[in-house]
């Protein structure tokens, strides 16, 4: 299988339970909830996405001929150190492309493998860390994992509807828009009133890194 990748880069994880951890981000092209083109945003299922995932023209992006080819690129970006290797498969929607061959090759190269998914596509791959970010108007096919990270507020979404799911931790993340201050206030208040939820803040944006 070949893989279409928008970009691959070394950074610090900026959100959720792994905030601050060095990671290689592998961002796959394509999503099942939005084309990624601005002219389609108003009719998309997910209308608030702040990520560019169209094409293969980002940093280290391209079409990779197979798992070994892609993992070699990811390993080269991590560098020589073999300790605490961590890769985050993201998108777009990574489950459109991520498969067992890729994950097993990453593990053979010493990586802990995380995925950030909208949860609408069933996972049949043995990831080390699963983060699901639900979107309004969708049905979750992934109902267990390490963290559920809900961008908030979203129209017609009640966070309490997710608490019966089998996740280790639950995060609310303020929606990044022109109303960000109102969103932060809403998230803080909700977490204070509902202590099972924790605040996730986009640290990478606050400190100016990718």
| Residues designated catalytic | 25, 31, 46, 49-51, 116, 204
Query: Is residue 143 exposed (0-12), middle (13-18) or buried (19+ Cβ within 10 Å)?
Result: middle
Query: Is residue 50 exposed (0-12), middle (13-18) or buried (19+ Cβ within 10 Å)?
Result: exposed
- Is residue 192 within 8 Å of residue 154, measured between CB atoms? no
In which order are the strands placed within the sheet that holds 129-132? 62-64, 3-12, 22-28, 86-90, 112-117, 129-132, 144-152, 166-174, 197-199
């Amino acid at each position: 299988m070949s893989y279409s990748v928008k970009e691959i880069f070394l950074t610090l994880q900026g959100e959720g339970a792994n905030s601050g951890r060095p990671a290689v981000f592998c961002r796959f092209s394509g999503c099942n909830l939005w084309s990624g083109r601005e002219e389609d945003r108003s009719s998309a299922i997910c209308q608030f996405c702040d990520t560019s995932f169209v094409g293969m023209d980002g940093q280290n992006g391209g079409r990779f001929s197979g798992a070994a080819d892609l993992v070699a690129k990811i390993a080269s970006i991590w560098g020589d150190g073999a300790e605490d290797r961590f890769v985050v498969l993201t998108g777009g929607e990574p489950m459109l492309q991520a498969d067992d061959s890729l994950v097993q090759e990453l593990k053979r190269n010493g990586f802990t493998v995380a995925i950030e998914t909208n949860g609408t596509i069933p996972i049949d791959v043995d990831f080390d860390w699963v983060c699901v970010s639900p979107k309004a108007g969708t049905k979750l096919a992934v109902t267990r994992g390490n963290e559920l990270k809900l961008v908030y507020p979203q129209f017609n979404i009640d966070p309490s509807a997710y608490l019966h799911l089998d996740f280790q931790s639950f995060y609310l993340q303020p929606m990044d828009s022109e109303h960000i201050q109102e969103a932060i206030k809403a998230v803080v208040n909700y977490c204070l009133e509902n202590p099972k939820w924790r605040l996730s803040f986009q640290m990478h944006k606050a400190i100016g890194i990718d």
